[in-house]
Structure 1
Amino acid sequence: MPDLTDDDGLTVGQVSTRLGVTVRALHHWDEVGLARPSLRTAAGYRLYTVADVERLYRVVVYRELGLGLDRIRAILDDADTDVPDALRAQRTQVAERINRLQQLSAGLDRMIDAHERGLLLTAEQQASIFGSHWNPDWPARARQRYGDTTQWRQYAERSASRSPEEWQAIADAVAGLERVLGDAMDSGVIPGSPEANQLVERHREMFSSSYFPLTRQMQVCLGRMYESDPAFAAHYDGIRAGLATWLRRSIDASARAHSIDPDAATWQ
């Protein structure tokens, strides 16, 4: 504790400076009877004696340990209070709080990493989950292209909480839907038919639950990319020859059924 030799007492401002607490806190502790100044000047100003400041110092220490004011009062004034036991209980609470903060810190690290990388999977995990055709550079390219969009932020926030097993379940579900799309094309399902529209809606719902909410206009934009981008076209045509074009046509026809002009659709 600071060395105090002021025989006439210290003002609230002086104590505030010495102990590093606000004047407001000192006034509050005075009002609730936790630590009151023992002296008053002729003009009525509060003055703290050395003993008062010693008590205040203990209040400050216990507050920094996280104890509430009522608990501090009991430790300082109740002779029956087991101080070591009270401090052990507080230590347990502090340890629990530290554990929660460590978990929060780890979660923040994952969130930051997800916003910067997209997928929190190693290259080996990505190949195992998404297949040998998967390029581990794709997430980085996607971030460069879409990193400032709302959709990237939504995708990253979901990615941060997903395990490899959850990504595997998503990959399996997507692959299953793609096989269904290929089978539908092979069986002669016509874009714009009720069955094709149902599959388009299923595609939109699966995409929305797996990556980020997808509007019908955004789905039209994706359909264009599936057909025009060499990597996407190769992926879908690898499932069934012509599937990329069939899917784009089906998405366009479904959009028209919802009063959306595919030629004027934008990413919104």
Structure 2
Amino acid sequence: MSDAADGDGLSVGRVAARLGVTVRTLHHWDGIGLARPSLRTAAGYRLYTVGDLERLQRIVVYRELGLGLEGIRAVLDDTTTDVPGTLRVQRAQVEERIDRLRELGAGLDRMIDAHERGLLLTVEEQAAILGPGWNPDWSAQARERYGDTAQWSQYAERSAARGPEEWQAVTDAVAALDRALGEAMDAGVTPGGPEANRLVERHREVFASYFPLTRQMQVCLARRYEAEPAFAAHYDAVRPGLAAWFRRVVDASARAHGIDPDTAGWQDRP
């Protein structure tokens, strides 16, 4: 601060640069009487002395600690203020923010993990929840195939928020839907009828546990259920021919909503 010791003081710009604040901030502190420059040039420009700089440095420190401007004013100017007590309160608030930031950091780590792995369950948890037929490698294969899609990001966001109990609930909902589809097929439910259409809507609701499913996307998914061996085997294990029946049910519902199943594409918006 030797350059302020010659009696001329420092300009607002030089002080702002030295303290890492803006000129506007210094003007504001001057305007509210928190830190006024002791000198003025003949032209009326502000000049800060060594003593002014010391006060400003204390203000910057207290502001970094989270004190509001009125709190800083009290610490600096009010002789009745319990400064240690005020700082202890502020310390407690800082610790609360630190704890919150740690929680946010843990949440970010989990989100990153979900984007990279998909399913945040141990191999043992996957076997217990998803059944012995589940292959733990499927999640990695799905990321390799779909990792650059919006649906994978949506799936990861949901996965990051779920533990074993939440995944168990999803698994139970899927199993209940599978049973309902098999029972409807046994009962001769006709594609396009009220009961069939209710099952189509239920499928979309259950599937939203992974990512939102438009009707066009549902048509494409139902075709995959029938065409891809792994999917077909799953549904045919519930009821022989269930994958093909469900595709017809979905196609009929799509037509009722003005969608041609033969030309439907993977559209994530209606």
Q: Structure 1 length as normaliser, TM-score?
A: 0.92
Aligned-partner SS, 2:37:
coil
* Residues 1:121 and 2:121 aligned together: yes
| Alpha-carbon distance between aligned partners in 1 of 2:48 and 2:238, rounded to the nearest angstrom | 83
Match of 2:242 in 1: 243
Change (3 A) 1:16 1:228: same
Q: How many residues align?
A: 266
Shift of the alpha carbon at 1:4? Answer: 6.6
Please state how far the C-alpha of 1:211 moved relative to its aligned partner: 1.6
Which letter does structure 2 place at the counterpart of 1:168? Q
> For 1:13, what is the secondary structure of its paired residue?
helix
**Shift of the alpha carbon at 1:5?**
6.2
SS of structure 1 residue aligned to 2:10: coil
Equivalent position of 2:256 in the other structure: 257
Give the drift of 1:31: 1.3
For 1:166, the equivalent position in structure 2 comes to: 166
Task: Mark the CA change 1:186 to 1:55 in structure 2 (over 3 Å): closer, same or farther.
Answer: same
Which residue is equivalent to 1:78?
78
Contact 2:3 2:10 in 1 (8 A): no
Q: Distance in 1 between matches of 2:125 and 2:100?
A: 29
Distance 2:146 2:34 in 1: 57
TM-score of the pair, normalised by structure 2: 0.91
Change (3 A) 1:133 1:49: same
Alignment of 1:142 with 2:150, yes or no, is: no
Quote how far apart the aligned CAs of 1:186 are. 2.2
Instruction: Give the corresponding residue for 2:99.
Output: 99
Alpha-carbon deviation of 1:224?
0.8
Q: The residue matched to 1:47 in structure 2 has which SS?
A: strand
Q: Which amino acid aligns with 2:118?
A: G
CA–CA distance in structure 1, aligned partners of residues 59 and 22 of structure 2: 13
Distance 1:3 1:61 in 2: 21
Give the conservation status (yes or no) of the 8 Å contact 2:4–2:10.
no
Kindly, what percent of the aligned residue pairs are identical?
Answer: 74
User: RMSD between aligned alpha carbons?
Assistant: 1.8
1:17-53, Cα deviation, whole Å (9 max, x unpaired): 3333222222221111111111223333322222211
Partner amino acid for 2:110? R
Write the letter of the residue equivalent to 1:228.
A
Task: Report which stretch shifted further, 38-47 or 129-138.
Answer: 38-47
Q: Give the CA deviation at 1:125.
A: 1.4
| 2:182 aligned partner | 182
The reply on whether 1:230 has 2:233 as its aligned counterpart is no
Gaps of 5+ in 2: none
Q: Distance in 1 between matches of 2:183 and 2:111?
A: 38
Whole-angstrom distance in 2 between the partners of 1:11 and 1:188:
88
Instruction: Tell me how far apart the structure 2 counterparts of residues 195 and 42 of structure 1 sit (CA, whole Å).
Output: 88
On the 8 A contact 2:114/2:156 being kept in 1, the answer is yes
Deviation at 1:3, TM superposition (A): 6.2
Deviation at 1:100, TM superposition (A): 1.4
Alpha-carbon offset, residue 171 of structure 1: 0.3
Gaps of 5+ in 1: none
